[in-house]
Structure 1
Amino acid sequence: MGYDLAAFATAFVSDPVLAVIVVLTLGATIVNGATDAPNAIATVVGTKAMRPGPAIAMAAVCNFVGLAGITMVSSAVALTIFKMVDFGGNNHAALVALAAAMVAIIMWGVVAWYFGIPTSQSHSLIAGITGAAIALQGGLAGVNGAEWMKVLYGLVVSTFLGFGTGWLFTRLIRVFCWRAQRSRANAFFKWAQIISGAGVAVLHGAQDGQKFLSLCMLGIMIAMSGTVDGNVTFPFWLILLVSAVMSLGTALGGKKIIKSVGMNMVKMEQYQGFAACLSACFCIGLATFTGMPVSTTHTKTTAIMGVGAEKSIRNVKWGLAGRMVLTWVLTFPGCGLLAFVFTHLFLMWF
């Protein structure tokens, strides 16, 4: 069955359940743009390489370019999310469960944004659809263990590789540039940091945007054809729509997260900000092209911690880092439980 824009528009108008699914998914995408995307350019603002306004505008544009451009080359992350759970053969119940997952994801993300906590919308998304699938199937039968393992691999990459490469890149820069004139070095690393920050924003668009693109396509496929094809091809109009919505979210929000991550966690110089962005680019890029869903927030934060630890372990505000880790630890059971409860409630009501 074709999923061209005209066919989708007809189905969207005639099927209220599909309309709710799409609106909720795009709403979750906006929340992601407001909460996760600013982390890409947090250090650029924290080191005063760019002012918050222009930095957020750059991130919004790069989010759009990253999702629209990289997805045309590789949709590995989207396919991982697409295959992670099975909502079963009842199309109506599957759509209700997907709607419940989206409500849980949005609620969790809005609360985190309100308190300025850089929680992971990626982890919320994974927890939400998993909790909904468990509720619908009455157990773990609806969870694809092989795809879920990629989430665990992603946690390792974002935590240990993020911290390690942040530390390593900072050390290498100090070793190779120790004779450089400070003013010239700062001028160079200011622009290098802006470019690498843009790179992180591009990869965030591809990594996180593909997750919401996948869920939107899952809802469309269930509603329009009643079957889920693992060899899905994402229509270009949908890629552009999700890209634009994520960019809108980035443009509308983000200053609280920028302050928490880029300015409160560790005080950095220009070269350190560049090292953090370079580390995030490496880790997120590796995960994106190998199909591992990772948290941009998680990766960038651990990279910043690695950068601070290279000079002195006391340079890192571990109390704030501990709050973030606690939030990450709570996200999987918390958001998953919300989705589980909402799924049962929605099935009773609808």
Structure 2
Amino acid sequence: MPDPFVLLVGVVIVALVFDFTNGAHDTANAIATIVSTKVLSPRSAVIMAAVLNLAGAFIGTKVAHTIGSGIVHPDMIRGCQALTLAALGGAIVWNLLTWYVGLPSSSSHALIGGLMGSAVAYRGFGTLHYLSIAEKILLPLVLSPLAGFLAGYALMLGLSWAFHDASPRGVNHAFRKLQILSSAFMATSHGMNDAQKTMGIITLALFVGHELPDLTVPFWVKLACACAMAMGTAMGGWKIVKTMGHKIFKLEAVHGFAAETSAAMVITGASLFGAPISTTHTISTAVLGVGSSKRLSAVRWGIAGHMVVAWVLTLPCSALMAWIIFELLGLVGLTGVLAAPGV
């Protein structure tokens, strides 16, 4: 059994790597539409998203608390640091796989699936917090994409009605500037929800390793996660930008504004509720809703279908990967239970 502190440091490093890949993987959520509509250059858009992801990460900790105590029962897994390591490993493998093929899957649900899979591998299905999973994970999993679609559809219809007498060129020119604000709102809300997920997993690791008496998120954890996500965002995820910004629906500035604003409102609301939703799901369906308000044939539904397949597979596949990683860690003696200090 390796030194417990060394193992904990390893878990924190892997968690920050996951946060980095999350930022790189999900950069498209905030900037795909603004790049597609050529309102900002890719470089400028990425810099803006990185800074605002950093800022958003410091707003609240409700999502972090859900990750730390609302998926598995913390007391049932205390002492098994390999569990959090396997959860992160499963999520990172799934993130990298979907990033490689350009599918906008959910980093959030990869982490949640990984945590569930490793907990079950350790002590069975009794480790899962079923009521919280139903309320804070599964229900938002279904409702957030629906809310994104309906919000995008309704907002685009409202804008179309409000500006029906204006020239398309004039409307597009006005919304080119407004889209900078909507993209900034989207980037901030992304940091507000997504960075907290890694905060939650690191805080859980500290609790499991007997370094914290409860699941209160330390300031240094907030700072480290915010910086890791911002650096990942700065790297960009250009394959996913291409899928989000070009393949689903041909966007103009007004469409980008409607999609970003509606998605950011849904994500912010979920963050205040403490639900770790998928920003990818929400912005993707908001884009679909905006496109459908024009006409159903404007949306490339085949691409949307591929995205849905990735979404459906994320929870079980990341859980399976985490389970396999946990078993492999067991083979090298890393799944032993650590006693509390003084025991």
Per the TM superposition, whether the score is higher than 0.5 is: yes
Residue 46 of structure 2 corresponds to which residue in structure 1? 56
Q: TM-score, normalised by structure 1?
A: 0.90
CA contact (8 A) 1:157 1:283 kept: no
Q: How does 1:87-126 map to 2 (within 5 A)?
A: 88-89=75-76, 91-92=78-79, 94-126=80-112
User: Could you give the per-residue CA deviations for residues 19-69 of structure 1, whole angstroms, max 9, x where no partner exists?
Assistant: 11001100110110011132111111111111111111111111000002x
* Structure 1 position 67 matched with structure 2 position 57: yes
CA contact (8 A) 2:27 2:236 kept: no
CA contact (8 A) 1:86 1:133 kept: no
Of residues 329, 341, 348, the one that matches 2:324 is: 341
* Structure 1 position 37 matched with structure 2 position 31: no
Residue 300 of structure 2 corresponds to which residue in structure 1? 317
Q: Secondary structure at the match of 1:15?
A: helix
Q: How large is the Cα RMSD of the aligned pairs?
A: 1.6
Residue 147 of structure 1 corresponds to which residue in structure 2? 132
- TM-fit CA distance, 1:344: 2.0
Residue 183 of structure 1 corresponds to which residue in structure 2? 169
Residue 340 of structure 2 corresponds to which residue in structure 1? none
Opposite residue 217 of structure 1, the aligned amino acid is T
Of residues 250, 262, 269, the one that matches 1:286 is: 269
CA contact (8 A) 2:108 2:278 kept: yes
Q: TM-score, normalised by structure 2?
A: 0.92
Residue 72 of structure 2 corresponds to which residue in structure 1? 85
Opposite residue 142 of structure 1, the aligned amino acid is T
- TM-fit CA distance, 1:89: 4.9
Count of aligned pairs between the two proteins: 329
* Structure 1 position 217 matched with structure 2 position 203: yes
Residue 338 of structure 2 corresponds to which residue in structure 1? none
* Structure 1 position 21 matched with structure 2 position 4: no
- TM-fit CA distance, 1:82: 1.0
Structure 2: how far apart are the matches of 1:181 and 1:266? 21
Q: How does 1:191-340 map to 2 (within 5 A)?
A: 191-225=177-211, 229=214, 232-340=215-323
* Structure 1 position 172 matched with structure 2 position 155: no
- TM-fit CA distance, 1:91: 4.4
Structure 2: how far apart are the matches of 1:341 and 1:281? 35
CA contact (8 A) 1:38 1:59 kept: no
Q: Unmatched 5+ residue regions in structure 1?
A: 1-12
Residue 162 of structure 1 corresponds to which residue in structure 2? 148
Q: Unmatched 5+ residue regions in structure 2?
A: 334-343
User: Could you give the per-residue CA deviations for residues 89-137 of structure 1, whole angstroms, max 9, x where no partner exists?
Assistant: 5644x20111111111111111111111111100101100001111111
- 1:239–1:267 distance in 2 versus 1, CA, 3 Å: same
* Structure 1 position 137 matched with structure 2 position 127: no
Deviates further, 184-193 or 21-30: 184-193
CA contact (8 A) 2:78 2:207 kept: no
CA contact (8 A) 1:52 1:255 kept: no
Opposite residue 148 of structure 2, the aligned amino acid is G
